[in-house]
Amino acid sequence: GQQLNQSPQSMFIQEGEDVSMNCTSSSIFNTWLWYKQDPGEGPVLLIALYKAGELTSNGRLTAQFGITRKDSFLNISASIPSDVGIYFCAGHPFAGGTSYGKLTFGQGTILTVHP
Amino acid sequence: EAGVAQSPRYKIIEKRQSVAFWCNPISGHATLYWYQQILGQGPKLLIQFQNNGVVDDSQLPKDRFSAERLKGVDSTLKIQPAKLEDSAVYLCASSLEAGTRAQYFGPGTRLLVL
């Protein structure tokens, strides 16, 4: 099946620093979604991207749908302690015509923010 | 607007026992999904419903897992009998429609099989 390569696997940063993580695939995706998951909770949708080249912000978070439709990145500016958690990229692979594949998740990026 | 509701939040059972999880999606969301998330991994789709019909159950281990959404609203996922490797978080998600729309997740049910 489709696989997403998410990097880095983990990040240890100081409060106030900016963070960048990305997701790549060998095939084309129709949608890119970024989720955050706190311990003991379900993933929470941060940003949804539906068009190649789309750049969307949500507060201190910015994400882009790559022009090639094979990648996406998420940036977090001026990190704070509550940014700690696991960040997942996810996407719907292109399946031809108006078809779509099932939502596929990356392996996650574990973010630790030191005060 | 209320989010996706799931219960129970935690369950501990012995292998070969049965267990059931319940999910109520966001009001008006026609599409409901059940995912399995093993520790350290991203969620993996088990089954997708559109209203009360199954759209995709290709990754559901049908010898022991079953799911239903009889009235097209809430849904139940059952495991019978459970195995040790079923220990995971079971997440329910819903979306406004099928396709590439964003999915919204519930808090999950944490299952431990001993």
Mean pLDDT of the region B8-34: 97
pLDDT class for A99, splitting at 50, 70, 90?
low
- Written as one letter, the residue type at A38 is D
- Residues A66-82 pLDDT 10s: 999 999 999 999 999 99
Asked if A100 and B100 come within 8 Å (Cβ–Cβ), the reply is: yes
pLDDT class for A1, splitting at 50, 70, 90?
low
Q: Is the pLDDT of residue A97 over 70?
A: no
A102 contact residues in B (CB cutoff 8 A): 45, 48, 56
pLDDT class for B86, splitting at 50, 70, 90?
very high
Give, in order, the Cα–Cα distances in Å from B1 to each of A45, A72, B25, B28: 15, 29, 11, 11
What is the percent of chain B where pLDDT is above 90?
Answer: 87
pLDDT class for A95, splitting at 50, 70, 90?
confident
pLDDT at B67: 98
Measured in residues, chain B has a length of 114
* Pairing of the two strands A5-7 and B44-50: unpaired
pLDDT at A2: 61
pLDDT at B2: 85
Give, in order, the Cα–Cα distances in Å from A38 to each of A18, A20, A45, A82, B77: 20, 18, 12, 10, 23
pLDDT at B34: 98
Q: Is the pLDDT of residue A17 over 70?
A: yes
A45 contact residues in B (CB cutoff 8 A): 102-105
Mutation test of the interface with chain A: which of B103, B110, B111, choosing the one with the most A Cβ atoms within 10 A? B103
DSSP B78-100: EESS--GGG-EEEEEEEESSSSS
